[in-house]
Amino acid sequence: MVYLIIQLLSIIGLILSLYAFYVVEKMKKEKKYKATCDISDKVSCTKAFGSKYGKTFGLSNSIYGMVFYIIIFILAIFGLNNYIFYLSILSVIVSIYLAYILYFKVKSFCLVCNGIYLISILLLVFSYLEIY
């Protein structure tokens, strides 16, 4: 049962990452693009995705997210929960770092980003429950 929850969470995380990637690509083509998740100047996905922190090693963070959630989904299919647990720890650490940057450097609230942070925490909790 826990593996199904982990698979569902990884699918939701993948969808959020795909949406983030879509927004980033749309922003490249249309300079004044306004995403659905842009509610105000303080609640803005495009502000987060378009910042200098939206990329790591030249790639959009959304690409790393897509790869991560695909890997988690595959690991859950094969029941490799120890790997899911350790990858989830790494994911939560990265999420804490990105949340700090989002709130204190970019000074914005990103609905998609916070959804991804929540997915990371839930993956950690459910993978922990499966191990212990």
Q: What is the pLDDT of residues 51-89, one digit of tens each?
A: 999 999 999 999 999 999 999 999 999 999 999 999 999
* Closest among 70, 98, 51 to 13, alpha carbons compared: 70
Structural domains in the chain, sorted by start: 2-28+41-131 (1.20.1440.130)
**Token output for 48:** 């987060």
Element (DSSP H or E) covering residue 2: helix 2-29
Could you tell me the pLDDT band of residue 1, with boundaries at 50, 70 and 90? confident
DSSP, collapsed to helix, strand or coil, labels residue 109 as strand
Out of 38-52, 89-103, 110-124, pick the least confident.
Answer: 38-52
Q: Give the integer Cα–Cα distance in Å for 7 and 29.
A: 33
pLDDT of residue 67: 98
> 1 has which bridge partners?
none
pTM: 0.93
- Note the pLDDT tens digit of each residue in 95-109: 999 999 999 999 999
**31, pLDDT greater than 90:** no
DSSP of 38-106: --SSSB-HHHHHTSGGGEETTEEHHHHHHHHHHHHHHHHHTT-HHHHHHHHHHHHHHHHHHHHIIIIII
Please report which confidence band the pLDDT of residue 41 belongs to, taking 50, 70 and 90 as the band edges.
confident
Question: Residue 47 is which amino acid?
Answer: K
Query: What does the pLDDT average to over 22-31?
Result: 92
